[in-house]
């Protein structure tokens, strides 16, 4: 009977623990937004237009830099590098086209004082700007900007010191010929 009583106490305790409310989740602090990703509603309309114009200029500069990378890959006749850089170039062109359209729509929304469409178009431009920057970095990696670069016209001159022993140490001179005199034919000289 005593074991039955203990069993009931253990089961009741287990049920009490099982029914306890879960611990409250710890709040996760909000991640601060970068200047490029400020909340669109917090940015004044005039600044939205200025930032959008500045972002477009930066994206056009990135496009020019990636075009140079494509030409560099074409000059080295490296198909893998060329394909990689071309892929990044195509993506940047698409993002730039979308951003230019969004900039025009942003300017229209600001002139009509429409907040929601303006915020949406501003956000599109800012996201595209970040993606273009990432693609430009990837294009540099395609070409190997972050690796070693050599100049095709590199000339190396090697000078040998005068006091070195002559010859190639990996090819020793053959041993001298061994002259063996045959024994005399007769014991009398």
* Measured distance CA(143)–CA(75) in Å, rounded: 11
> Which of 1.20.120, 3.50.30, 3.40.109, 1.10.287 would CATH assign to domain 45-144?
1.20.120
pLDDT, tens digit only, all 189 positions of the chain = 555 555 455 555 555 445 555 555 444 444 444 444 567 667 777 888 889 899 999 999 999 999 998 898 888 888 888 899 999 999 999 999 999 999 999 889 888 988 888 888 889 999 999 999 999 999 888 887 544 445 566 777 878 787 777 777 788 888 888 888 877 777 775
* CA nearest neighbour of 95 among 139, 141, 144, 41: 139
Where are the chain's structural domains?
45-144
pTM: 0.56
By three-state DSSP, how is residue 138 classified? helix
* Measured distance CA(132)–CA(95) in Å, rounded: 7
* Measured distance CA(106)–CA(120) in Å, rounded: 8
């Amino acid at each position: 009977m005593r074991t039955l009583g203990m069993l009931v106490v253990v089961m009741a305790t287990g049920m009490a623990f099982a029914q306890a409310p879960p611990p409250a989740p710890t709040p996760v602090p909000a991640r601060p937004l970068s200047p490029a990703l400020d909340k669109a509603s917090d940015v004044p309309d005039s600044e939205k237009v200025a930032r959008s114009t500045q972002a477009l200029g930066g994206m056009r500069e990135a496009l020019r830099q990636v075009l140079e990378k494509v030409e560099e890959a074409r000059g080295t006749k490296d198909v893998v590098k060329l394909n990689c850089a071309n892929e990044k170039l195509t993506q940047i062109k698409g993002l730039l086209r979308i951003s230019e359209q969004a900039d025009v729509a942003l300017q229209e929304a600001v002139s009509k004082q429409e907040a929601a469409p303006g915020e949406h178009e501003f956000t599109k431009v800012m996201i595209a700007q970040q993606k273009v920057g990432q693609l430009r970095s990837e294009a540099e990696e395609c070409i190997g900007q972050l690796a070693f670069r050599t100049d095709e016209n590199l000339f190396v001159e090697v000078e040998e010191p005068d006091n070195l022993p002559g010859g190639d140490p990996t090819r020793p001179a053959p041993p001298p010929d061994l002259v063996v005199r045959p024994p005399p034919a007769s014991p009398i000289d």
